[in-house]
Structure 1
Amino acid sequence: MDLTSSSGGGGDPRQIEETKPLLGGDVPAPEGTKMGAVPCRRALLLCNGMRYKLLQEGDIQVCVIRHPRTFLSKILTSKFLRRWEPHHLTLADNSLASATPTGYMENSVSYSAIEDVQLLSWENAPKYCLQLTVPGGTVLLQAANSYLRDQWFHSLQWKKKIYKYKKVLSNPSRWEVVLKEIRTLVDMALTSPLQDDSINQAPLEIVSKLLSENTNLTTQEHENIIVAIAPLLENNHPPPDLCEFFCKHCRERPRSMVVIEVFTPVVQRILKHNMDFGKCPRLRLFTQEYILALNELNAGMEVVKKFIQSMHGPTGHCPHPRVLPNLVAVCLAAIYSCYEEFINSRDNSPSLKEIRNGCQQPCDRKPTLPLRLLHPSPDLVSQEATLSEARLKSVVVASSEIHVEVEHTSTAKPALTASAGNDSEPNLIDCLMVSPACSTMSIELGPQADRTLGCYVEILKLLSDYDDWRPSLASLLQPIPFPKEALAHEKFTKELKYVIQRFAEDPRQEVHSCLLSVRAGKDGWFQLYSPGGVACDDDGELFASMVHILMGSCYKTKKFLLSLAENKLGPCMLLALRGNQTMVEILCLMLEYNIIDNNDTQLQIISTLESTGVGKRMYEQLCDRQRELKELQRKGGPTRLTLPSKSTDADLARLLSSGSFGNLENLSLAFTNVTSACAEHLIKLPSLKQLNLWSTQFGDAGLRLLSEHLTMLQVLNLCETPVTDAGLLALSSMKSLCSLNMNSTKLSADTYEDLKAKLPNLKEVDVRYTEAW
């Protein structure tokens, strides 16, 4: 049978071998015309748009013919070929091997031994074959169909060429030739019909290894190589070693055009598509160095700002959800690196607790400390209780990066001195509290660290200006992810204050709620920037702003007021004394809700309120409300009341303010238009036992307020209201409830079980048309 050039019945010529030279030698010339009288002609491959996955292994039929090359055509045209063997072949990095090394494939076939790869097809009975020309013979591979044959063909070609490039570029001689071969390698990857991640990653890894083994390249050679591989980086992350090479270029030549033209799309892709910097930290380091390189340009932060704008996009909502978390991760890592030297020296340097208490013993420390510490002499510490002013004795230790200066301007409290012997670690804010023994604390960074800190804090400020990013940014920063050294740095906390102010000004509860701690026992930004915290550098304006926004949301609860009374009563009274209206309202609410039990403290609060005009007026209004409440209870009034349908919150407020309702026990607001806002008036009905809110817009915020004040409520109807688990869980504190209707609400089964466990008197429950039904 004659062998033709057709493939699968077609007669189009198809090219199979590239003719571009590799470093160190030329590709062998086609030898298909030297096989005998009936030559097996090489087909020319057309760009027909077919794409294939790179094969790593697969099943195929194998036949090996050992003969002089001149007799190949005679054997191929004979009627009877030698037997075929089924093998499971693996395309390793350097050879073609069988999973069962027997028969024809007893020994693996090295890619370096394969002289040529050709496509063959039979004329009468098509058998989709590949011909591998090896010294002394031919290896024939037979696939099941033309697609598999072409897939094997392209995969073998790719493996063979990559193997050659690895060998050729492993020992370069002239870099101008190396650059030419790198460009050829990149073109090969871009034009390959194989569609696989490794197609673009393999050339990058080859170049990465080449650069890591040759560190004496000139700057121009660096740039030429970067430009040559740029097309591969459009859709692929650079390997770790290549990231290190890029970082070096950003540090050494930040003003190079390569940074703008080549690195910008690479970094944009990283920020848009990277899922976890923990798996490849060098990607984060490269992004960090790229942004610092932008900051070194003439325009400085203006260039960085434009880059952040390009990442967000022109619309009001960023279409890429991974951009913000990745940017925040880069910022946190960069800020951490600014204090890394000091953090690593924690074991040898005085802790913040020791600095605060003035009990540092220099003789117990190791001799090399990366900080400069000014502190009282140990003999002066023992005399602090009796001396009116301690004289300072300085101990200076050289440091190239970080300097800590502590000045004592007043005597330390005996309690603080006694606590220095306690080995237990204080919490974060306790470590940073400004005490009389430590009135000023400043950390001075080196020039490079200072520039890095300024750049990335400015980026955090830019991120906080975007409305759609602010909720996620607040959530990411809520656990306070910065080291305590950064929080003790006055410059850092002063610059970060802008971000916290943006959180405090945002009316969305999901944003300003992140000012509080992430859980009980942890400190949050609210504590850090409140009077007494190390970050508070004003007279409490930010603290008052935070309290105002928190009290205006769902946090207007006894729990929040109790927290303020226990921890921040002094600052609240001080700000109220200065006429701050928010703090005056806080003190009035503390009195109205009986938050303060101590009579002396109550009298002090009253004196504070009466010392200012606004405080005196609000205290008088409070007293009037208290008198009206007592009068309502004395006069009595109706025990049952039903509001007309379609009544509003304003209608209810006018009705309750028009008469006496001290004895009101049953109130029906069913089918009205009241909302959670009416809860402010409902909590002033001391005798209320039954409340019907069927088919109203009463929501979670109102339920939370009712649960704190109407503790005697026995019957509550919430049928067809928009309440959810968040509000229903608050009902667990209403122990007197015996009848509860949650029909057609967003009640879940878990919340229902929780309510049943916490409400022992609950006897009648309606949960139809809910998840718990």
Structure 2
Amino acid sequence: MNFVSCRLFRMPSFSQEINVDLNSNENGALNNEVHKESTNTDVEGRYEQNEQVSDNMLPGLNADQRLAFALRDFLGSSAVTVVDSGSSPSTLGQTLPYIDEQLDVEDTTQSEDENLQCRDTEEVLNNAACRLRRWRAASRKLRRPRIIDNLCTNVEKEGNSSKTCNGGHTDLADRLRSLAAAGSMSASSVELLSLAPPPPAATAPPSPGCLLSPSLADQSSAEYFGSSPECCADSVGFESSNTSGAPVPPPGPRYKLATEGTLRVCCFQHTRTVVDKILAAKFLRRWETHVLCLQEYHIVSNTPSGLLEHPLSYSCMQEVYCISRWDPARKYCLRIVMPHGSLLLQANDAYTRDQWYHSIIWRRNIIRYRNFLTKSIRKEVVLKELKNMVDFVMTTPLQDESVTRTPMQILTDLLSEKKDSNDWEEWAENVISAAAPLLAERCASGELCALLARLCRRRPRAAPLPALAPPVRRVLTRNVDFARAPDARRLVRDYISAVSAHNSGSALVRRFVEVTHGGRAACPYPRAAPNLAAVALAALDDHFRGQPAAAHVCADNEDEVLCFADILEYMCEYEDWLLVVGAVLQPVPVCGGAMSCPRVAKRLRNVLHKLALDSRCAAHSCVAPARAARLYPPSWLRAAAPSDPLLALPNKELCQLWGDMLGSLINCCSKRKSFLQGMSKQLPDFLLVALTEHPAALEALCLMLEWEVTSGEQTQLEIIAALQGTELGQKYYKDLCERQQNLQRLQAEGGPRRLALPVRATDADVGALLAAGALGNLECLSLAFTSVTSACAQHLIKLPSLRYLNLWATKFGDSGVQLIAEHLTKLQVLNLCETPVSDKGIEALSGLSNLRRLNLNSTKLSAEAFEILRQRLPHLQEYDIRYTEAW
């Protein structure tokens, strides 16, 4: 058993020297020779150290390394005299980490002489604690890789070999890590901590709700306009690594914020002394089981009695750290140092202990940051503490709703506190720049969005756009309903206005749309396109509503909203977003004042042109809804009509745009005859566009004459005159006359009643056969197992008496089925077995009211489409739906 001999002194003042000699050996002899070393420039003071090398000290060490090794064990065999007369009281009064020494606990009983010796040692321990107060002042000199190793491990020699075991000052390393997590560690301590090995992580698997979601902070700042708004016009590449320097949580499990749990509690009246003997002596410990509740400002017990009769306030906690060396003994404890004692909380596993540790640290620091940020006056100090809070929030492993909401509320209170002052804009810029990582990771509330939008409105060219880009992008990609979040929509609108206010505003807006869409072929966020289009249309409507559409005069304030028309145009550059823009623009959501502006109308023309030239029906059909000729709300065919236009475009551009939209609709697989019937009221527009020799208008006029869409001799003469007015129109009219003569000859009475084509027949063979002679009596036609496609439907619709049509095992598709369903109204039997038709074409058969028998065997028929078909065809007697989804 080792005995400690010491000479006791009074507690020194700040100007006095501290002389403590601690000698421990088996013989109890004092055999120390002290010599003085030269004073180091980093620390003002003298260190008198034992010249004799202890048994555990490694050979070949310099003076600093020997001093670091001696600091490893303040109660070891080395006698250290520290003289530091130059330290200031402010340096000595800082909060420092304290060390819990690990002693041998093999013999838990002591003799009376040993107990007397322990009482004598207590004052030495108190004096050692005073020496530890100077540890920070001395740590500036001890920035060596060996010191943190000595704090975490002990080297024990066994003969010629050495082994490393956990012990020594394990709690000091634990406490250093705790201080680093709380953000209250000095720079020198952080440097020492970076050399220490990480503590063992809890191995309990996290719950599914605690897993990390994809983080916006993982993306580089260049994706959000880089370090300045101007650099985004040139930077088009994305970086996959996190180069922005944003703090991220440490690796390991994630925790929910603890609110209530059952823990064992032990309390003892020691705060700054070594507590190893108390922890090891079982008869000195009294454990109680409590159900603890973590409230906002206190820790309370559901049974307030015994050790937890009074609540524990977070503000009174001096230190909170885990005692990791008890883990091998399955005693997972957490120590809380209070002003008049310490409290041990014991959990059942390491995961629960770590969860409570991080939860207490969170409550304690959030209270501190909230009080400091709301009550401090010096702005530079507030900004520094705000950065510390952001680093703490971003590095905590907690994931909970309150963890997300509380820091954003503190930021909101900080911005709204001085919003009536004259220098609020400059203050808000500094605060937002400091809180940029937090804004990139957390959802902004409505009040915070209103404050950010206010900054963008007041100082658009000076607003910190890189810091505001992540919350704006989060609103666009994750917001569901702007009607319930008007402040969020206002933030997006004002941010886009601020971006366009720069010198390269157009390039910045294009870059913003590109970043919002992402680098993939399809945008991964389904809400981004509707939200962005809604913001652009709302901005145009707010600016131009109430302005007269007839006498529009361009003003300088229109430059502020032209960027929103540009956004609609830039969105159409992406195929997946083009469909979204077309759906939002149906019917016309733009007021007449906006369409009467030539600059807005020019951008809308580009949008409509891209919709019209798109080959997808879902895109070009957006320019003409079911009732295309209605006056209000108008369709784009009505808004761009050359006879009475709503778009302020030149007549030539209007005719070209209207003809392009008409051509896409006529060549589409929709019902052309019903479409032209609905557009018969816009016949003057057809005539005006036909006079510009647009092929779509000429084809539409020919179809009106051929299908007798228009009624009245005067109307037909107007159409013929328009066709003969141009050289290209005369060619179209000549072809129409030839088709009419062939049609009359085809529909003349005579010819066979039944006809079947051979297997090798094609679409050209069907056309040649029907042009060969009169087939007006043809009632039954079989094209089974031939190579015909939907292109032969334009010949089949010329047979007015056709009642039976067999298309078994052909390539007849949806467009052909829609065409025959519109013209062959007398059809009674139809065989589409083993054809590529789908629900789109099958639903068109609902117009065949005389249909009695239908074969849809081995097609792409769905159960929903078949139910709709049965409801619309009540006279259907026989049907075959085998080998379909409806079977």
Q: Equivalent residue of 1:131, what SS?
A: strand
Query: Residue 100 and residue 551 in structure 1: after superposition, are their counterparts in 2 closer, same or farther (change >3 A)?
Result: farther
Aligned to 1:428: none
Quote the offset at 1:64 in angstroms.
5.6
The partner residue of 2:503 within 298, 301, 305 is 298
**Match of 2:417, as an amino acid?**
E
The partner residue of 1:58 within 248, 260, 265 is 260
**Match of 2:699, as an amino acid?**
E
The partner residue of 1:669 within 783, 795, 805 is 783
- Where does 1:490-569 land on structure 2 (aligned, <5 Å)? 491-517=599-625, 523-530=634-641, 531-535=643-647, 537-539=649-651, 540-541=654-655, 542-565=657-680, 567-569=681-683
Aligned to 1:149: 353
Aligned to 2:494: 289
Quote the offset at 1:256 in angstroms.
3.7
Give the conservation status (yes or no) of the 8 Å contact 1:723–1:745. Answer: yes
Query: Residue 107 and residue 331 in structure 1: after superposition, are their counterparts in 2 closer, same or farther (change >3 A)?
Result: farther
- Could you tell which deviates more after superposition, 331-340 or 733-742? 331-340
The partner residue of 1:188 within 385, 392, 401 is 392
Q: Equivalent residue of 2:550, what SS?
A: strand
Give the conservation status (yes or no) of the 8 Å contact 1:267–1:287. Answer: yes
- Where does 1:73-472 land on structure 2 (aligned, <5 Å)? 76-80=279-283, 81-87=285-291, 89-98=292-301, 107-120=310-323, 126-195=330-399, 199=403, 202-215=406-419, 216=421, 217=423, 221-256=427-462, 258-259=464-465, 261-264=466-469, 267-268=472-473, 270-272=475-477, 274-278=479-483, 280-312=485-517, 317-318=522-523, 321-339=526-544, 342=546, 404=548, 441-444=550-553, 447-448=556-557, 450-472=558-580
Quote the offset at 1:165 in angstroms.
0.8
- Could you tell which deviates more after superposition, 91-100 or 450-459? 91-100
CA distance in 2: counterparts of 1:107 and 1:476, whole angstroms? 62
2:592 matches 1:476: no
CA distance in 1: counterparts of 2:626 and 2:752, whole angstroms? 46
Aligned to 1:694: 808
Deviations 1:188-227 (A, max 9, x none): 2333343557556543432331121023346554443333
- Could you tell which deviates more after superposition, 505-514 or 461-470? 461-470
Quote the offset at 1:746 in angstroms.
1.7
CA distance in 2: counterparts of 1:445 and 1:92, whole angstroms? 60
Give the conservation status (yes or no) of the 8 Å contact 1:51–1:195. Answer: no
Query: Residue 233 and residue 518 in structure 1: after superposition, are their counterparts in 2 closer, same or farther (change >3 A)?
Result: farther
TM-score (norm 1): 0.75
Query: Residue 181 and residue 70 in structure 1: after superposition, are their counterparts in 2 closer, same or farther (change >3 A)?
Result: closer
Give the conservation status (yes or no) of the 8 Å contact 2:690–2:723. Answer: yes
Give the conservation status (yes or no) of the 8 Å contact 1:516–1:523. Answer: no
**Match of 2:512, as an amino acid?**
F
Give the conservation status (yes or no) of the 8 Å contact 2:387–2:434. Answer: yes
Structure 2 unaligned residues grouped into runs of 5+: 1-71, 73-91, 102-118, 130-168, 178-197, 202-250
Give the conservation status (yes or no) of the 8 Å contact 2:476–2:527. Answer: yes
CA distance in 2: counterparts of 1:103 and 1:523, whole angstroms? 78
**Match of 1:670, as an amino acid?**
A
Query: Residue 546 and residue 625 in structure 1: after superposition, are their counterparts in 2 closer, same or farther (change >3 A)?
Result: same
Quote the offset at 1:548 in angstroms.
1.7
Quote the offset at 1:764 in angstroms.
1.7
Give the conservation status (yes or no) of the 8 Å contact 1:129–1:142. Answer: yes
- Could you tell which deviates more after superposition, 326-335 or 305-314? 305-314
CA distance in 2: counterparts of 1:763 and 1:444, whole angstroms? 66
Quote the offset at 1:127 in angstroms.
2.9
Give the conservation status (yes or no) of the 8 Å contact 2:595–2:648. Answer: no
Quote the offset at 1:308 in angstroms.
3.0
Give the conservation status (yes or no) of the 8 Å contact 2:699–2:732. Answer: yes
Give the conservation status (yes or no) of the 8 Å contact 2:463–2:498. Answer: no
Q: Equivalent residue of 2:594, what SS?
A: helix
Quote the offset at 1:106 in angstroms.
5.7
Query: Residue 586 and residue 173 in structure 1: after superposition, are their counterparts in 2 closer, same or farther (change >3 A)?
Result: same
CA distance in 2: counterparts of 1:151 and 1:250, whole angstroms? 40
The partner residue of 1:632 within 731, 741, 746 is 746
2:886 matches 1:683: no
Give the conservation status (yes or no) of the 8 Å contact 1:744–1:768. Answer: yes
Q: Equivalent residue of 2:263, what SS?
A: strand
CA distance in 2: counterparts of 1:106 and 1:656, whole angstroms? 102
Quote the offset at 1:443 in angstroms.
4.5
CA distance in 1: counterparts of 2:573 and 2:272, whole angstroms? 77
The alignment's C-alpha RMSD in Å is 3.5
Give the conservation status (yes or no) of the 8 Å contact 1:62–1:139. Answer: no
Quote the offset at 1:485 in angstroms.
4.7
TM-score (norm 2): 0.66
Aligned to 2:767: 653
**Identity across aligned pairs (percent)?**
40
Structure 1 unaligned residues grouped into runs of 5+: 1-12, 14-24, 343-402, 405-439
Quote the offset at 1:75 in angstroms.
5.6
CA distance in 1: counterparts of 2:460 and 2:590, whole angstroms? 27
Query: Residue 715 and residue 165 in structure 1: after superposition, are their counterparts in 2 closer, same or farther (change >3 A)?
Result: same
- In the alignment of these two chains, the number of paired residues is 650
Quote the offset at 1:616 in angstroms.
4.7
Q: Larger Rg: 1 or 2? A: 2
Q: Equivalent residue of 1:156, what SS?
A: helix
Query: Residue 26 and residue 476 in structure 1: after superposition, are their counterparts in 2 closer, same or farther (change >3 A)?
Result: farther
- Could you tell which deviates more after superposition, 44-53 or 466-475? 44-53
- Could you tell which deviates more after superposition, 450-459 or 157-166? 450-459
Deviations 1:157-190 (A, max 9, x none): 1111111111111111211111221222222233
CA distance in 1: counterparts of 2:523 and 2:354, whole angstroms? 43
- Could you tell which deviates more after superposition, 694-703 or 486-495? 486-495
Deviations 1:609-644 (A, max 9, x none): 455554455444434433333323335223332223
Give the conservation status (yes or no) of the 8 Å contact 1:294–1:300. Answer: yes
**Match of 1:645, as an amino acid?**
V
**Match of 1:476, as an amino acid?**
V
Give the conservation status (yes or no) of the 8 Å contact 2:827–2:848. Answer: yes
